[in-house]
Structures are given as C-alpha cells and as structure tokens.
Structure 1
Amino acid sequence: MIDNTIHSTTIELTTSFHDTDAMGVVWHGNYLKFFEKAREALFQKFNYGYKEMLESGYMWPVIDTRVKYVAPTIAEQTLQITASLAEYENRIKINYLIRDLASGKKTTTGYTMQVAVATQTKEMCFVTPDIFLTCFGLLK
C-alpha cells in the first residue's frame, strides 16, 4: 500500500521569463521539466536518484505522460509542485499537482509512467525490480 504522506515530496520553483511563450504565459512544454524536477526530488528522498539508478543496473524511461492545464502561470510566479508515487508493481506512476504558492490555487495536474529497463541488456522489465521496492520501503 502506498502512503502518500511518505511517498510524496513537494518542491518550490519560481518560473523565469525564458519559461514563457509569446503570450506571456509559461509554455506548455515546460511543465514536463517542472514534473521532472519534482520526480527527481522524490527519488532522491529515497536515495534512488539517477546515479543510484544506473549503479543498480536499471534506467527508468518515461513511457507515458499526461498534463492537464487548469490555470495559466506566468514569469516569476512561485509554484509548489508535489510528486506522489501512485503505482509501483509493474511500472512506476507518479502523479503531479502544481499550485500557486501565494494563493494555493491549483494550476496543473498530470502524471508520468516509467518502466525499468536493464542497462546491460536494454530489455524492459515487466516487474519492478527489488532495488526500487527496497529503497522506497515497499518490499513485502
């Protein structure tokens, strides 16, 4: 069972002018970068960052993603980005919630899905490796 009080993390990020498009709002593609920053913080919380992933013999490519834009964000807006582990048995699903820090208003939601790929063989694993489950305290 996933405990989202444990298996989630929240970061703060202030958008920059270079994040915006010609209309002055944060360009839609940048939200995947924001998700990545939160996902990286979540994995590091459990000592399974990119260095540890590779050392464990696995890489975790994103195979699916979804972004729902609820409200626009602008340059120099501080966002609170929460990444929460939602699935882990055969793939990893991370849910995201982005809120404006000042108002608490939800601006964006989404998810990413990742699968384990063995670095030596480049073959996809159909079961989440024990190293991930151990790091995240999910090994039964």
Structure 2
Amino acid sequence: MGTRFETNMTVAFHDLDPLQIVWHGNYLKYFDIARFGLFASVGVDLYAYMLEKHYVFPVTRSSLKHIVPLRAFDQFTCSATVTECQYKIVLNFEIRKGPDMLLCARGSSEQLAVRFPEMEMEFQIPDDIRRALEG
C-alpha cells in the first residue's frame, strides 16, 4: 500500500437530497477532496504539473458502494489510499462517521497519465509522481 490521507468534513445542508440524506453524487465530491488532499500532502500540484510538464491525470474509472447514509451536519472522515501507481493511479476511498467510525461508503478510482495538449495516453505514471505517491 502507498500513501494514505484523511480529511475531516461536515455534511452541508445543500448536499442533501429531498429524502434529507446526502445526494449520491456528493460522495464523489468528497472523494475528490480527499484525492486532492492526498496529492497536496506529497507535494504534487496537478495544475502546476500540467503547466510545467504537460501531463494531466484524468479519472477514467470510479466506483462507489453506499452502506450507511450521511445526513445533515454529520461529521465524517474521508480517506484516500494509493493502491497502485505504476501504469495507472488507483485510489481506494472510505467515508466513516461518528465516534465509532461507522463505515458509510467505500469506493475507488483510476487515473491515467495523458500528455497535454495532445491528449495522448502514456503507458506509465511519470517517475516523480510514482515516487511521491509510493511514500
């Protein structure tokens, strides 16, 4: 396993659906917050990387399993863990809430390295990104 990052959040009222639980699409937003926190924690600024080294790292696959819903003002932790970073970047996510850290959702994502602006897929993650993510 590679680098792990956790961030604490609180459900905002505007994240709720008519059933007064977090709308399903917002879980991917929470995953993205953890993803960018993880990259920042290892010193990788993806926007600067695009400008300087001409690579982007689009999400090409994501999955999400809802287990227990989040509700208004729940405090929760979203974690992101690197599980692969040789040919693609694979992150696993978990959302847990409350003092007992009840598992609410689990997911994963895959990102590829793409040359920019040509938009040509590379077959390996650049060495500097791989080393940073491996910890």
Give the counterpart of 1:17 among 13, 16, 28: 13
Between the aligned partners of 1:8 and 1:49, the Cα distance in structure 2 is 17
Q: Which residue of 2 aligns with 1:98?
A: 95
Aligned pairs for 1:2-41 within 5 A: 2-3=1-2, 7-41=3-37
Cα distance change, pair 121–110 in 1 and its aligned pair in 2 (3 A): same
Between the aligned partners of 1:69 and 1:63, the Cα distance in structure 2 is 20
1:84 and 2:49 are equivalent in the alignment: no
Give the counterpart of 1:49 among 45, 63, 66: 45
Scaled by the length of structure 2, the TM-score of the pair is: 0.93
- Any conservation in 2 of the 1:17–1:76 contact (CA below 8 Å)? yes
Percent sequence identity over aligned pairs: 30
Between the aligned partners of 1:58 and 1:97, the Cα distance in structure 2 is 27
Scaled by the length of structure 1, the TM-score of the pair is: 0.89
Between the aligned partners of 1:106 and 1:25, the Cα distance in structure 2 is 15
Between the aligned partners of 1:93 and 1:49, the Cα distance in structure 2 is 17
| Deviations 1:65-84, CA, capped at 9 Å, x for gaps | 00000101101011101100
Give the counterpart of 1:134 among 112, 128, 131: 131
- Any conservation in 2 of the 1:69–1:108 contact (CA below 8 Å)? yes
| Deviations 1:108-131, CA, capped at 9 Å, x for gaps | 000010001111321011111112
Count of residues in Structure 1 that have an aligned counterpart in Structure 2: 134
Q: Which ranges of structure 2 fall in alignment gaps of 5 or more residues?
A: none
Three-state SS of the structure 2 residue aligned to 1:44 is helix
Structure 1 position 30, deviation (Å): 0.3
Cα distance change, pair 24–71 in 1 and its aligned pair in 2 (3 A): same
| Deviations 1:34-84, CA, capped at 9 Å, x for gaps | 000000000001111223321232111000000000101101011101100
Cα distance change, pair 46–56 in 1 and its aligned pair in 2 (3 A): farther
Compare 98-107 and 17-26 and name the one that shifted more: 98-107
Between the aligned partners of 2:115 and 2:107, the Cα distance in structure 1 is 27
